[in-house]
Chains A and B, each alone.
Chain A
Amino acid sequence: MAYTFQFRDVFAQKAAIVDGLVLTLELSAGTIVLGFAVGVLAAAALVYGKPWLRKAAGVYVESIRNTPLIVQLFLVFFGLPNLGVTLDAITASMITLTINLGAYTAEIVRAGFESVPRSQIEAGVSLGMTGPQVFRHVVLLPALKNVYPSLTSQFVLMMLATSVVSQISAAELFHAGSIIQSRTFRDFEVYTVIAVLYLALSLLMRAGFGVCYRIFFRR
């Protein structure tokens, strides 16, 4: 079946692609920073909190991890206006993605905290350190180092998952693809280009996280 690939039409829409790419990067960066912070707090609550706090954090983590991201997104963007809270697409995206990443991060970081041997904590306690001091100086860094690969995989996964916010018309990279598709009707070419861009992004991210590891943990 003869078909001439017309990538030129797609490349003519460069501006839309670049704009989409920028938003994807912004959403990813913001989500990773905020989601990581939320995750560490939730993990600390799960491991060190009082029973009520542990239960609350547990409910948060389990309800997010057992429901699809797109449903969470629809709940926030379409559902909240029912309750009087209306958010624009970008804000709704950031909130949903952050809450989502926070839950997955919490599980990973929790495993990290629990991987620090008891004897380390005893050593800190025996020097007269308080609980929070032991956490900050003895537990935190070794815990993060232990789960670094899982964490970075989760972050890359989240960057790819930002594509879902296209469904509430946030103009990130995947949404740009849909726009170009409707303008040029070059379905295959468009999504091939989008796919290659995502692939490049994920490879760059992994490489970047590898560099970060060497800077922060390789002494």
Chain B
Amino acid sequence: MSLVELKRVTKRFGANVVLREVDLRVEKGEIIAIIGRSGSGKSTLLRCINGLEPVQGGEVWCDGVAVHDPKSDLRALRARVGIVFQSFNLFPHLTVARNVMLGPTIVKGMAADDAEKLAHEALRRVGLEEKIGAWADELSGGQQQRVAIARALAMSPTIMLFDEITSALDPELVGEVLLVLEAMARDGMTMLLVTHEMNFARRVANRVVFMHQGKVWEEGPAKEFFAAPRTEELRSFLSSVLH
């Protein structure tokens, strides 16, 4: 079975249908970029995978867990699924160290010393080991986002979800975050990124998925995807984004 499998997933917010019978498969080690206009359902799709958004129809399977089933133990799954948000969501009352250590100590019951070593390692991977004692609001946006990535990495996840993680950053800070993502890709992490960074997607992703009006409108290998879009909607989206 694939690492992530969505079968005919339907999701509504009230009367508003946001996802219409979406099918998607992600294999281990794959890097998938999800693109589309705002309102196309791409963020919602991502948030369904770790159960942050419940679905009204279809099946969501993640790492062998039936996410759509209300009886499933999502807590244990979430400890293996890392997610990074557009607005970082660091805990303001904790230092960088404690932000990164919180998951391992509280959720996995790790001893404080081991967690601290883990935190050092995670922060080293994102290039921020020297900021380990700082408070979140002392860091720039790009640094905060990298800490958020380290916080997710510290849980040793099997898959990482990224929800438009560079959209809220000043342009000059985007590069440092993308560098971290590229390193993670090289290390073989399975990654799903909702993103507007088309060049990054073309360079780093294996497959790209184009969402339109709540459906998977087009998907394919990254190189052909951008070079030869098959549908009119994708062509028009790409021309408006890649001017």
Q: Which residues of A come within 8 Å of B, CB atoms?
A: 119-120, 122-130, 133, 137-138, 141-142, 145, 219
Q: A133-B106, A137-B102, A137-B106 are in contact. Are A128 and B79 (CB under 8 A)?
A: yes
CB-CB under 8 A from A122, the residues of chain B are: 52, 85, 89
Interface class of chain A by DSSP: helix
CB within 8 Å for A133 and B85 given contacts A127-B102, A128-B78, A128-B79: no
Minimum distance in angstroms from A86 CB to a CB of chain B: 47
- Contact B91–A125 (Cβ < 8 Å): no
Check if B201 is an interface residue, CB within 8 A of chain A: no
Can you list 21 A-B contacts with CB-CB less than 8 angstroms, sorted by A residue number? A119-B85, A119-B87, A119-B89, A120-B89, A120-B91, A123-B89, A123-B90, A126-B52, A126-B78, A126-B81, A127-B78, A127-B79, A127-B103, A128-B76, A128-B78, A128-B155, A129-B106, A133-B106, A137-B106, A138-B91, A142-B92
Contact with A along B75-107 (1 / 0, CB 8 A): 111111101010101111100000000110011
Q: B residues within 8 A CB of A125?
A: 52, 78
The verdict on B50 contacting chain A, using a C-beta distance below 8 Å, is yes
With the chains together, A145 CA to B106 CA distance in Å?
22
Q: Assess whether B79 is in contact with A123, with CB atoms less than 8 Å apart.
A: no
Report B83 CB to chain A, min CB distance, Å. Answer: 5
Chain A contacts for B42, CB-based, 8 A: none
Which residues of B have CB within 8 Å of A127? 78-79, 102-103, 106-107, 151-152, 155
Q: How far is the CA of A127 from the CA of B106 in the complex (A)?
A: 10
Question: Could you say which residues of chain A place their CB within 8 Å of the CB of B90?
Answer: 123
B79 proximity list for chain A (CB < 8 A): 127-128
- Do B75 and A128 touch (CB < 8 A)? yes
- A188: min CB distance to chain B, Å: 50
| A126 and B93 contacting across the interface, CB-CB below 8 Å | no
User: Which residue on B lies nearest to A217, using beta carbons?
Assistant: B93
Instruction: Select one of A123, A128, A141, A142 contacting B107, CB under 8 A.
Output: A128
Q: Answer yes or no: B135 CB below 8 A from chain A CBs.
A: yes
User: Among residues 45 to 82 in chain B, which have CB atoms less than 8 Å away from a CB atom of chain A?
Assistant: 50, 52, 75-81
A-contacting residues, B163-202, CB 8 Å = none
- Which chain A residue shows the least CB distance to B79? A128
The distance in angstroms between the C-alpha atoms of A130 and B106, with both chains bound, is: 10
A126 touching B83 in the complex, CB below 8 Å, given contacts A142-B92, A145-B93, A219-B135 = yes
Distance of A125 Cα from B102 Cα, bound (Å): 12
Q: In whole angstroms, what is the CA distance A119 to B85 when docked?
A: 9
Contacts of B87 in A (CB 8 A): 119
A219 cross-chain contacts in B, Cβ below 8 A: 135
In whole angstroms, how far apart are the Cα atoms of A30 and B226 in the complex?
69
Q: Which residue of A lies closest to B161 (CB)?
A: A126
Can you name the residue of chain B whose Cβ is closest to the Cβ of A118?
B89
Known: A120-B91, A219-B135. 8 other contacts (CB 8 A): A119-B89, A123-B90, A125-B78, A127-B79, A127-B151, A127-B152, A128-B78, A129-B106
Task: List A contacts of B151 (CB < 8 A).
Answer: 127
The residue on B at minimum CB distance from A128 is B79
Cβ contacts under 8 Å, B76 to chain A = 128
The minimal Cβ–Cβ distance linking B223 to chain A, given in whole angstroms, is 32
C-alpha gap A145/B93 in the complex (Å): 9
Closest CB of chain A to B85's CB: distance in Å? 7
- CB pair A123 B78 closer than 8 Å: no
Nearest 6 interchain pairs by C-beta? A128-B79, A123-B89, A127-B103, A128-B78, A128-B107, A119-B89
Contact A128 B52, CB 8 Å, known A122-B85, A123-B85, A123-B91:
no
Q: Are B93 and A129 in contact (CB under 8 A)?
A: no
